[in-house]
């Protein structure tokens, strides 16, 4: 039974998250599994590299599935995209992978991107795809605050109360904060890279850094919050709509070549 890796893009707005929810709540996992069932009848269960929350998007989610027949990757991609319409989910690439490949457990890196737009007028074209604030932020202050979070730390402060991870200790390899012109305002982008993340870790970090950029927090307060190892010391958790699972890294890229 061949195994396939799928690179998936989706708009998370209409979904209750990646993971199948049941009780009439739509999920991205269910959408892809339903499309697979139209190609090969029967139940299908797929595993993904990251279980994104409700409203969170992806430009580089990776999942794997096992199918009974040998599919040419391009034809499988085309067939899945046909059956996924009109839902905002697209399979960008398909690759045949070894039987021991696992989208989640084989991953060595996950990359998230967060989009924050500062402008007075409401966003229109990016509605539901960015977090909007009204006033410009201090880019250098946010970078200074983010620097305290790089490396291996106990991230209890930046972890959801219901997080199921066995340990709050994670290694954050990168936080890059950039700014670019946006019609009528400025767009700030936060790029975070780590082997794995805690539940709500990215949104907790971005929400805290926004407070730094707004001048409500000094950059050093981020270090104090981290060292407190106390959820109450965290800044506000930002909304989900600006968050994107941007990519997943493996020892060998299954989609290369």
Inter-residue contact 194 to 171 (CB < 8 Å): yes
Kindly report the three-state secondary structure assignment for every residue of the chain: CCEEEEEEEECCCCCCCCCCCECCECCHHHHHHHHHHHHCCCCCCCEECCCCCCCCEEEEEEEEEECCCCCCHHHHHHHHHHHHCCCCEEEEEEEEECCCCCCCCCCCEEEEEEEEEEECCCCCCCCCCCEEECCCCCHHHHHHHHHCCCEEEECHHHCCCCCCCCCCEEEEEEEEEEEEEECCEEEEEEEEEECCCCCCHHHHHHHHHHHHHCCCCCHHHHHHHHHHCCHHHCCCCCCHHHEEEEEEECCCCCCCC
Q: Of 110, 132, 112, nearest to 57 (Cα)?
A: 112
Beta-ladder partners of 104? none
**In the numeric block, which tokens belong to residue 119?**
């402008």
> Distance between CA 89 and CA 106 in Å, rounded?
23
Active-site residue identified among 11, 53, 66, 181: 53
Question: Has 70 been annotated as catalytic?
Answer: no
| Catalytic (active-site) positions | 53
């Amino acid at each position: 039974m061949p195994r396939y890796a799928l690179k998936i893009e989706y708009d998370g707005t209409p979904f209750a998250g990646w993971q199948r929810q049941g009780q009439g709540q739509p999920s991205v996992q269910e959408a892809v599994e339903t499309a697979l069932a139209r190609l090969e009848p029967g139940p299908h269960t797929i595993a993904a590299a990251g279980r994104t929350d409700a409203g969170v998007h992806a430009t580089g989610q990776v999942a794997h599935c096992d199918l009974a027949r040998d599919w040419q990757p391009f034809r499988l991609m085309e067939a899945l995209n046909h059956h996924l319409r009109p839902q905002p989910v697209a399979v960008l690439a398909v690759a045949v992978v070894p039987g021991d490949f696992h989208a989640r457990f084989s991953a060595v890196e996950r990359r998230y991107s967060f989009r924050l737009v500062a402008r007075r007028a409401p966003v229109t074209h990016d509605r539901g795809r960015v977090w909007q604030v009204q006033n410009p932020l201090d880019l250098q202050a946010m970078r200074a605050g983010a620097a305290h979070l790089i490396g291996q730390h106990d991230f209890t402060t930046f972890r959801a109360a219901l997080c199921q991870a066995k340990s709050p200790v994670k290694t954050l390899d990168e936080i890059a904060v950039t700014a670019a012109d946006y019609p009528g305002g400025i767009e700030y982008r936060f790029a975070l890279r780590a082997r794995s993340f805690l539940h709500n870790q990215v949104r907790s970090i971005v929400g805290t850094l926004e407070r730094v950029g707004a001048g409500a927090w000094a950059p050093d307060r981020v270090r104090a919050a981290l060292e407190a190892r106390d959820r109450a010391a965290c800044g506000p958790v930002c909304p989900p709509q600006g968050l994107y699972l941007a990519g997943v890294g493996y020892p060998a890229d299954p989609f290369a070549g």
